[in-house]
Structure formats: structure tokens, C-alpha cells
Copies of this chain bind each other. A is one copy, B any other.
Amino acid sequence: MDMETNTPLDSMLGSICIVLVETTHPGNIGAAARALVNMGLSDLRLVRPQAFPSPDATARAASGEALLSAARVFSSLDDAIADCGLIVGSTARTRSVSWPVMSPSEMAPVVLDASHQQRAAILFGRESRGLTNRQLDRCQLFVTAPVDVNHASLNLASAVLLLAYELRKTALLRNGSAASDRPTMGKDLLATSGMVEGFVAHFERVLHAAGFLEQPSDKLFRKIRRIFTRRALEEDEVNILRGVLSAIEKRIEGL
């Protein structure tokens, strides 16, 4: 059932490839693979990785191991993106890029639109310096996460995760299965208003019996009823609280 629900989503996200260029630390490749499977992307490409395959990559990939094994390795960036239409460059925030830079949430709909007809690529450069000018020249769009300017160095796999997350959020919205991004309600029934009112009336009787409301104060009692009426109580919870009240009542009256 999940398979069927996910099929349109898989095909939307499956047309976007993530290209890691000259990655230095294999652990980052593995962590990126894990981030991609978490978000439902599936096409990972590596250009001249310093070490791959690598036990460090495998260890960090977790359930992304199959995606990691399927990653294709290229000796040049041009080969890696030869079948792609829109090319997006992920960059650190810098004043030296004389080109509009999008945020991840701005980028996502543009990339999904473009990848509808033709594979799109998002490029990530080497950890220490990002994409070179020559590599940036291959890109039509640039994207930067809105990080703190004083701590702008985002881990490579973290940058991959944030972009993949925004792509997934947009794809879920388009898929109409915004349902998957909606709060899910549990299976427990909420108490009806009548049940809550019955409980509140019972509570008031116990307060009187306990001598709490010797001088009935409407204001105070309104506050007390709000404690319970403002919050969605479950049937089960109202039943338990009424059991508590009955026990207290019996104890007070029985003595």
C-alpha cells in the first residue's frame, strides 16, 4: 500500500540527481546516501571521489547502503551531468557570486518543474572550498541554505539533507499527499463535549464536598473548567478522571 501511495512521489524525486564533486571524506558520501534515502531520492553520482568505495562511507550510509552501492562514479563533471537539463550549484553564502542565489525552499519547486521533463542535477563541491568557478559555470541556478553568517560552514551531507528535504516537502505537497506531512491523529477517540461537561459537573460536586468552594466563586470555577475544556481530552482520560473523582467522593462521604 505504501508502495502505491509513493509511486508518483518516487518518480518526481527520482528524476533529480545529486552530484558530489571531488569529495574528500568518504564518511560524507555515506551520510549523503542516508539523507537521500530518508527523503526518497535515489540517484547519487560521484565525480572523482578521493576514496570510494570505503568502509567509512558504508558505515555512515545505514539504510542507504543499496543507494550507495548503486552510486555511479565519473571521471569528469561533464560526463556526470551529460544527461541532465537544469544544473543547480550548491554554494556557501558569499558576496563574490554575482548571480541570484535561491534558498532551498525557493529552489525546490523550480527543480521539480524542470525535472518533470528532463533529469535535473544539484552539484556539491569539495568540503574545503565548495564548487570551483569552472564548476559553477555549468550551473544555471545557485542555492544556499540560510545559515548563520558567523558559522556558515555546513557539513556536506547536511547541505545535501536540507536540499533533499525541501524537494521532498514540495513533492509531497504536489502529490496532494500533503496528508503525509499533516499531523496524524491517533486512534483514540476524543471525548464528546457531553462527556467533558459531565466530568466538569462531577468535579464541581467533589470540590464542594471537599470544602474547596465554600464561597462559590464563579471566576475561579470558570478557570477550573477551562483547564479541562480547552484541551482535547480523550474518552479514556475522562473515564479515568471520573474514576478518581468517585474514589475521592466515596472516601470523603464514607468517613
State the A residues within 8 Å of B (CB).
2, 6, 31, 34-35, 37-40, 62-64, 93, 95, 97-103, 105-106, 145-155, 157-158, 161-162, 165, 168-169, 172, 180-188, 206-207, 209-212, 220, 223-224, 226-227, 231, 233-234, 236-237, 240-241, 243-244, 247-248, 250-252, 255
What is the CB-to-nearest-CB distance from A158 to chain B, in angstroms, rounded to a whole number?
5
Given contacts A99-B186, A162-B162, A226-B237, 20 further A-B contacts (CB under 8 A): A2-B150, A6-B149, A34-B151, A35-B155, A38-B158, A62-B153, A63-B151, A63-B153, A64-B151, A98-B186, A98-B187, A148-B168, A157-B158, A158-B158, A207-B247, A211-B250, A223-B240, A224-B244, A227-B240, A252-B252
Sorted from nearest, which 9 A-B pairs have the closest CB atoms?
A98-B186, A212-B247, A37-B151, A255-B255, A100-B183, A231-B231, A40-B148, A98-B188, A210-B251
Which residues of chain B come closer than 8 Å to A187, judged between CB atoms? 98
Residue among B97, B147, B182, B186 making CB contact with A38, cutoff 8 Å: B147
Most chain B beta-carbon contacts within 10 A, residue among A63, A146, A248: A146
Which residues of chain B come closer than 8 Å to A234, judged between CB atoms? 98
Most chain B beta-carbon contacts within 10 A, residue among A35, A227, A255: A227
Most chain B beta-carbon contacts within 10 A, residue among A148, A157, A212, A241: A148
Contact present for A223 and B248 (CB under 8 Å) = no
Find the B residue at minimum CB distance from A154: B38
Contact present for B169 and A207 (CB under 8 Å) = no
Once the chains are docked, how many angstroms separate the CA of A105 from the CA of B108? Answer: 15
Q: List 22 A-B contacts (CB under 8 A).
A: A2-B149, A6-B148, A6-B149, A31-B155, A38-B147, A38-B148, A38-B153, A62-B153, A62-B155, A63-B153, A101-B183, A105-B169, A105-B181, A106-B183, A146-B168, A148-B168, A161-B162, A165-B165, A210-B247, A210-B251, A212-B248, A227-B241
Contact present for A35 and B158 (CB under 8 Å) = yes
Q: Is the interface of A mostly helix, strand, loop or mixed?
A: helix
What is the CB-to-nearest-CB distance from A177 to chain B, in angstroms, rounded to a whole number?
10
